[in-house]
């Protein structure tokens, strides 16, 4: 008898150990699990994950019927599902089901995946229901937000008539949206190797684009891609001028995965700019001769009026000459734009001491501009190889802008220094500053910054454009750093030996 008792005790212990092992597994499960026993669905086991979803403590539910332990579910279909599973023996599976769960502030709406699985006894009868619950509210909300963002992006792309492109480095495949495939002569479900896409580019632009792609995918690149080029596909044969803007995406090791971006057809825009430039160039040429004559007549009147020593007439003549000079400078700017486009804006480079040019500009500025304080500073003699007249034009333009857009009596600082085999020049003001969105475009032709009041700052938008073109013709760079309402620093660099 003692032997049977010992065997029975051993089996009871093994059973207890098995139940404890099962409880441990259920408790550590990453999803919510509960075991409900009998037709009243008494809650026998509920792990911490499901208690958190339910918004309950273990003492509130263990041993109680599900319906009474969770009264918030009475107006919802869960209790009916439990009854159906228990009576039919068929599992109930729900995907992305919306349910109201208990929360500190009352009820909250949640999204869950759930399984209600019948539990069978060793005799084959149903003894309870196993509940497996996973809350996916955050994942679904994030997915819906991404879907909405993608829809908004697609609307923006369509409204802007943009083609999107995608180049995968591993497969060497080039593809994009429907508009891109139309421009490159592809069918709607067709991709192409990058070499075939390059072949659609006009021969005179082809090498330049290939080098730009090679550079942006290299380790020395900042990952940003911007270029303009012309294409002609074999379907409609139309020549399009495209502006590409994109960036490189990298893997965890910093290797390039893909080059993604947008293409914009700027063919008509460039034609319109050309028509505008042609008109401005023609008008500027026509105005140049009478303006020169007018300036000569005014200077003659100034000399004739000297014996009378009439201060008022001398003052008026002086102002008239200044206005003529201002208009002459404006016309020269337009003519320079025209020459630049036609390839006739040539540099006449000489080796000269930048300190000498800097001193000349300082004397001229201090003698003619009395509305602001100036601080000119430099380290001394620096020899550079550049077009002296055009570098002076850039400096005058930057100083003139600083005067124009900064408060009266404020200080404007102009300095230069030798940095890394280059000359760097800074013009700093304490003016109204430039918004970040405008800083990206301020060197574009005809671009003018809009005031916060809705107006546009006076000018034609060619001064900074010409500055950029002149500096880039010298193999230099020009940039702006600005904080709204605090001021701006315009800087340009010139290599000593371009």
Quick: pLDDT tens for 218-270.
888 888 999 999 999 888 888 999 999 999 998 888 888 999 988 899 888 88
pLDDT at residue 288, rounded to an integer: 63
- Residue 82's pLDDT band, with cuts at 50, 70 and 90, is very high
Reply yes or no on whether the pLDDT at 375 is more than 90: yes
| pTM of the entire predicted model | 0.44
Residue 285 has pLDDT above 80, yes or no: no
Would residue 185 be called left, alpha or beta, if left means φ above 0 and alpha means ψ between -120 and 50 degrees? left
pLDDT (average), residues 50-61: 92
Closest CA to 299 of 278, 319, 321: 321
Which pLDDT score, from 0 to 100, does residue 374 have? 96
401-411 pLDDT, tens digit per residue, is 899 889 999 99
**Residue 135: band (very low, low, confident or very high) from pLDDT cuts 50, 70, 90:** very high
Write down the pLDDT at residue 454: 43
Q: What is the pLDDT of residues 449-461, one digit of tens each?
A: 766 544 444 455 6
């Amino acid at each position: 008898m003692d032997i049977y008792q010992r065997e029975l005790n051993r089996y009871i212990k093994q059973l207890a150990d098995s139940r404890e092992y099962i409880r441990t597994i259920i408790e550590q499960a990453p999803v919510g699990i509960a075991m409900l026993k009998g037709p009243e669905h008494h809650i026998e086991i509920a792990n911490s994950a499901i208690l958190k979803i339910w918004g309950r403590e273990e003492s509130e539910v263990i041993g109680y019927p599900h319906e009474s332990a969770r009264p918030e579910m009475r107006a919802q279909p869960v209790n009916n599902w439990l009854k159906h599973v228990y009576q039919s023996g068929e599992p109930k599976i729900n995907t992305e089901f919306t349910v109201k769960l208990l929360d500190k502030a009352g009820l909250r709406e949640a999204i869950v995946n759930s399984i209600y699985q019948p539990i069978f006894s060793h005799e084959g009868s149903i003894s309870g229901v196993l509940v497996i619950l996973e809350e996916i509210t955050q994942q679904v909300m994030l997915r819906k937000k991404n879907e909405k963002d993608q829809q908004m992006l697609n609307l923006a792309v369509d409204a802007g008539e943009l083609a999107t492109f995608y180049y995968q480095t591993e497969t060497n495949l080039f593809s994009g949206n429907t508009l891109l495939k139309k421009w490159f002569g592809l069918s709607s479900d067709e991709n192409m190797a990058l070499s075939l896409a390059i072949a659609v580019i006009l021969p005179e632009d082809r090498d330049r684009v290939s080098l730009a792609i090679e550079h942006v995918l290299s380790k020395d690149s900042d990952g940003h891609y911007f270029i303009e080029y012309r294409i002609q596909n074999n379907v409609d044969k139309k020549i399009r001028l495209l502006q590409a803007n994109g960036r490189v995406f990298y893997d965890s090791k910093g290797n390039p995965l893909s080059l993604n971006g947008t293409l914009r057809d700027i063919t008509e825009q460039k034609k319109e700019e050309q028509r505008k430039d042609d008109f401005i160039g023609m008008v500027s040429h026509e105005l140049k001769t009478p303006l020169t004559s007018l300036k000569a007549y005014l200077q003659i009147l100034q000399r004739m009026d000297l014996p009378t020593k009439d201060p008022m007439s001398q003052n008026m003549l002086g102002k008239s000459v200044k206005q003529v000079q201002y208009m002459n400078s404006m016309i020269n700017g337009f003519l320079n734009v025209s020459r630049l486009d036609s390839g006739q804006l040539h540099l006449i480079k000489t080796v000269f001491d930048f300190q000498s040019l800097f001193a000349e500009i300082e004397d001229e500025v201090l003698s003619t501009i009395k509305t602001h304080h100036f601080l000119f500073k430099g380290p001394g003699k620096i020899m550079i190889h550049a077009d002296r007249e055009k570098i002076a034009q850039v400096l005058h333009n930057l100083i003139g802008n600083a005067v124009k857009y900064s408060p009266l009596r404020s200080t404007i600082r102009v300095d230069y220094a030798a940095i890394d085999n280059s000359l760097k020049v800074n013009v700093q003001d304490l003016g109204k500053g430039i918004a970040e969105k405008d800083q990206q475009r301020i060197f574009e032709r005809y671009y003018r910054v809009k005031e916060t009041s809705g107006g546009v700052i006076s000018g034609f938008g060619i001064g900074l454009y010409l500055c950029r073109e002149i500096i880039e013709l010298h193999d230099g760079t020009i940039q702006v750093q600005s904080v709204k309402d605090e001021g701006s620093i315009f800087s340009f660099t010139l290599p000593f030996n371009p």
